[in-house]
Amino acid sequence: MGTNSVYLIPRESAMTASEWSAKVREVLVEMGVVEFGDDSDPSNFGNGEHADSAFESGGVEEDEPGPFDFGFVHQYPGAVFLPEPYAETPMCPHCGSEVKADVAALRWDEDGNEREIDMRELRITCPKCARKLRLDELKDDFGTKFYLSDRFVEFSDARMPREEWLKEFNARMGVEHDVLEYGYT
């Protein structure tokens, strides 16, 4: 069984990651799209009263409680690789060689713990064509654009946001956001 995540990833922003995180929480709550739970996990949220108006309605099942299952506001000290850990087959954009193991070696230590490192500075060397690549230059079988970001919103098992809602959200935030949908199994 597969599911998906829908990410809102800010483009250039003058705000720090913590300023953006505070503002995105405020804007999403004001718009009624999300409701945050208890303070034990302040980044975790569920559907708000007006969540349905923000997301496309296609494919809704009768027992579906809302347009997404749950979500998170992510904020990191350095950029992380998106949509990892779900990226199935990152490949060299020049020769098509799979570089999943190379990406994993940068992201995870020998014990399987995620490295706390700013991914913007890292490069891999393609094992086939020997080109040095930033992680956000990679592609996959589906043409997914990968990102490096220290902040983003993630909606799990989600419908796509409506274009009109996204325009209003961007205006309230004062920064444009890319939408990335990524399915995984």
Please count the structural domains in the chain.
2
Q: Is residue 38 part of a domain?
A: yes
Q: Are residues 65 and 94 in the same domain?
A: no
Q: Are residues 157 and 68 in the same domain?
A: yes
Q: Is residue 142 part of a domain?
A: no
Q: Are residues 178 and 124 in the same domain?
A: no
Residue-wise pLDDT for 47-99, tens only, equals 999 999 999 975 545 556 789 999 999 999 999 888 866 667 889 999 999 99
The reported pLDDT for the residue numbered 63 is 59
Q: Are residues 15 and 51 in the same domain?
A: yes
Q: Are residues 175 and 128 in the same domain?
A: no
Q: Which of 100, 116, 137 is the last residue of a domain?
A: 137
Beta strands per DSSP E along the chain: 3-10, 34-36, 44-47, 70-82, 123-125, 132-134, 147-156, 177-184
End-to-end CA distance of the chain: 6
Of 149, 156, 157, 155, which Cα lies nearest the Cα of 175? 149
The reported pLDDT for the residue numbered 1 is 39
Q: Are residues 161 and 133 in the same domain?
A: no
- Flag whether pLDDT at 112 surpasses 80: yes
65: alpha, beta or left, given left = phi > 0 and alpha = psi -120 to 50? alpha
Q: Are residues 70 and 153 in the same domain?
A: yes
Q: Are residues 36 and 126 in the same domain?
A: no
Determine the structural domain holding residue 125 and report its residue range.
Answer: 90-137
Q: Is residue 12 part of a domain?
A: yes
Residue-wise pLDDT for 10-50, tens only, equals 998 899 999 999 999 999 999 999 999 876 677 899 999 99
Q: Are residues 119 and 95 in the same domain?
A: yes
Q: Which residues contact 150 (CB under 8 A, 6 or more apart)?
A: 17, 75, 76, 77, 78, 79, 80, 118
Q: Are residues 132 and 47 in the same domain?
A: no
Tokens 């086939």 found at: 128
Q: Are residues 73 and 156 in the same domain?
A: yes
The reported pLDDT for the residue numbered 12 is 87
Q: Is residue 21 part of a domain?
A: yes
